[in-house]
A and B are shown apart, each in its own frame.
Chain A
């Protein structure tokens, strides 16, 4: 069955960095878009970034304005893994970060499987 397992969350001071990982199994990873979504404590969902099947072209990587220039999404198709490098972290980046699989249908994308999330806390 499809499984997505995030890791790498934790506590970091403002200005610091963290690298999140998402290990995928149960499906052919190379055939799917992947995405990161976050949820601040007690708040709603916020899309962070997605990466297409191949990361060879920048046009297939998108970011929310709130993280552009600070976060970098990448994937290793050989290791069935998705990553999010987070630099220059701010208090407002505190959230549970979910990785999710993007499936294409009818011309659009939807997030059909989600990991359990990993908590990132940015505080001094």
Chain B
């Protein structure tokens, strides 16, 4: 199975900060990497697909980059609505696997 490792596991940030979350795959997954946001008690929401494509309706402050084994999710200017947990997920091969999550908390 492909292991997905996110870092950090949690971070504290303030409104307006630039936030970067990384995701590393245990082997190359080309660009088959998706990012999701989840708030407590809610279903995950797709933010980015195939590493860098912005899902319709998602604010442009979210961006994704990377290919192969190393990927990044960037929030250019953190907003109050962005405090949540973020997950990466590979769809290169089954079993699809998720990272352990990165919780973005208010500083």
Q: Which chain A residues have a beta carbon within 8 Å of chain B's beta carbons?
A: 35, 37, 44-47, 50, 62, 64-65, 98, 103, 105-117
Contact B44 A45 (CB under 8 A): yes
Q: Given A62, A64, A109, A114, which contacts B43 in the complex, CB threshold below 8 Å?
A: A114
Contact A98 B43 (CB under 8 A): yes
What are 8 sample pairs from A and B whose C-beta atoms fall under 8 A apart?
A: A44-B99, A46-B98, A47-B95, A47-B96, A108-B32, A110-B49, A111-B36, A116-B43
Q: What is the bound-complex CA distance between A83 and B38, given in angstroms?
A: 24
List of A residues within 8 angstroms of B100 by Cβ: 44
Q: Is B72 an interface residue (CB 8 A)?
A: no
Within 8 A of A (CB), among B1-48: 1, 31-32, 34, 36, 38, 42-46
Q: What is the bound-complex CA distance between A105 and B91, given in angstroms?
A: 11
Q: What is the bound-complex CA distance between A114 and B32, given in angstroms?
A: 19
Q: What is the bound-complex CA distance between A123 and B61, given in angstroms?
A: 43
List of A residues within 8 angstroms of B38 by Cβ: 45
Q: Is B53 an interface residue (CB 8 A)?
A: yes
Contact mask for chain B residues 45-70; partner A; CB cutoff 8 A; 1 contact, 0 none: 11001100101000000000000000
Q: What is the bound-complex CA distance between A98 and B44, given in angstroms?
A: 9
Query: Shortest 4 CB-CB distances between A and B: which pairs?
Result: A110-B49, A114-B43, A108-B32, A47-B96
Q: How large is the interface on B (under 10, 10 to 19, 20 to 34, 35 or more residues)?
A: 20 to 34
Smallest CB separation, A57 vs chain B (Å): 15
Q: Given A44-B100, A108-B31, do A65 and B95 touch, yes or no (CB 8 Å)?
A: yes
Smallest CB separation, A18 vs chain B (Å): 20
List of A residues within 8 angstroms of B97 by Cβ: 47
Within 8 A of A (CB), among B79-107: 87, 89, 91-92, 94-101
Contact B50 A112 (CB under 8 A): no
- Give B94's nearest chain A residue, CB to CB: A62
Smallest CB separation, B28 vs chain A (Å): 13
Contact A64 B95 (CB under 8 A): yes
Contact B44 A114 (CB under 8 A): yes
Contact A62 B101 (CB under 8 A): no
